[in-house]
Structure 1
Amino acid sequence: MQQTRCVIVSAAPLAASMKKLLRPGDYLIACDGGYRSTRQILEREPDVILGDFDSAPPPEGTGAVVLPRVKDDTDTHYAAKLAVEKGFSQVLLLGALGGHRLEHTLANIGTGLWLEKQGVQVMLADEDSQLCYLMPGKSLELPYEPEEYFSVLPLEGRAEGVCERGAKYTLEDATLTTVDFPLGVSNETLPGGATITVRTGALLVIRTKKDHQLDR
């Protein structure tokens, strides 16, 4: 099993602040136009560049892996499969949120869930938010962060036995459903931190900076 972490950089806009999330020894896979962000913003040379290059021309002289444009996997999902093949137990997804392609953001969240189901610990991050996953029967500890909101959303239609303790709004053995009643949005941790558990169903946990929060 690899001890280093895999960082997958997709083609959505990437803030310069994301550079601080990198660790020495990270293995970088750049997807499509993500190779520009990897070099120009993260100031790192990718270990692998791959994609169908519909959002940027392939870089010259790099041995990039050019994927067919007619395929089942997105470029990011192909990179996720490569990370699993190489034995990584942790994956950070950058450049996977935002941009003008909402469907790509949703697909990348789905790719993160697929990785979690392969036993890989996953985080997606942009300038304002960090996303992770909580699988059935497991718990997640969130530190006390007075300048953050956290939200919990079910990913597979229904999540049962959801508990949120140490939070401003507590839940005990709650049932969360997908889009018709977003009960788990915009909570806050209390001093001492919060604990989230779920009995059945996968959860998406989103931590968002308050100073970038926009009320809806």
Structure 2
Amino acid sequence: MEHAVILSACRVSPQMRRYIQREDYIVACDAGYRNAAVLGVTPDLIVGDFDSAPRPDTTGDMVVLPHVKDDTDTQYAARWLLEHGAKRVTLLGALGGARMEHTLANIATGLYLARNGAEVCIADERSELHYLLPGRPLRLPRGDWMYLSLFPIDGSLTGVSMSGVFYPLSDATLTPDYPLGVSNEFTAPAAELSCTGGSGLVVLTRADG
């Protein structure tokens, strides 16, 4: 399983289909199966306790989870994918929506995936999220992104180097209580980022975002 896509329940547009290739393994989480229809794809697996949408009528693979559990539906899907060898995971329908706690939970799930070796992208129509970890530098093409922001997400982010941007950094420390890394801009075809300690969240934003 080279690349897997998790579909969560926040609204997506048909344009998000660009993140999905024919050979990708697709897991829909609870009401996320509705997003599969929007994107014109069929889930390989549906998981959930179906507290936010009726249990779908399907002959495909499904895991029905208990209502009382520690994992969110998306966290369960992430764990399942790691156990089945996923190397890259993209989460769609995981940002925004009416409940902020779900967005924060999905960002935490992305960190769990990244710390366990997966290359992770969380995307919506206007942004992408990536994770920066020690020993795993990032090279992010400029594309049509306007802004690049970097936030520490579990304490200080240390030994930060960043090039190809308007505000470069070298062996810097970013702390959670001061947003030094917000709204940087590309000055090269790609930005290069690395760190020596902590965990970072990189947010790419389009000009119309």
Which TM-score band applies after superposition, normalised by the shorter structure? Answer: over 0.9
CA distance in structure 2 between the partners assigned to 1:122 and 1:58 by the alignment:
28
> Per-residue deviation at 1:197?
1.1
Given the two structures, how large is their TM-score scaled by the length of structure 2?
0.95
Matches within 5 A, 1:5-24: 5-24=3-22
> Per-residue deviation at 1:171?
1.4
Q: Does 1:58 align with 2:73?
A: no
In structure 2, relative to structure 1, the CA distance for the partners of 1:147 and 1:125 (3 Å cut) is closer
Per the alignment, residue 78 of structure 1 pairs with 76
CA distance in structure 2 between the partners assigned to 1:152 and 1:191 by the alignment:
17
Q: Which runs of 5+ in 2 are unaligned?
A: none
Given the two structures, how large is their TM-score scaled by the length of structure 1?
0.92
Q: Report if the CA contact (8 A) 1:143-1:189 is conserved.
A: no
Q: Secondary structure at the match of 2:193?
A: strand
Q: Which runs of 5+ in 1 are unaligned?
A: none
Moved over 3 A (4+): 144-147
Per the alignment, residue 49 of structure 1 pairs with 46
> Identity across aligned pairs (percent)?
50
> Per-residue deviation at 1:192?
3.9
Q: Secondary structure at the match of 1:64?
A: strand
Matches within 5 A, 1:164-179: 164-178=162-176
Matched letter for residue 46 of structure 2? I
> Per-residue deviation at 1:203?
0.8
Q: Does 1:97 align with 2:95?
A: yes
Matches within 5 A, 1:63-212: 64-145=62-143, 147-178=145-176, 180-212=177-209
Alignment: residue pair count: 208
> Per-residue deviation at 1:191?
2.5
Q: Secondary structure at the match of 1:41?
A: helix
Q: Secondary structure at the match of 2:149?
A: strand
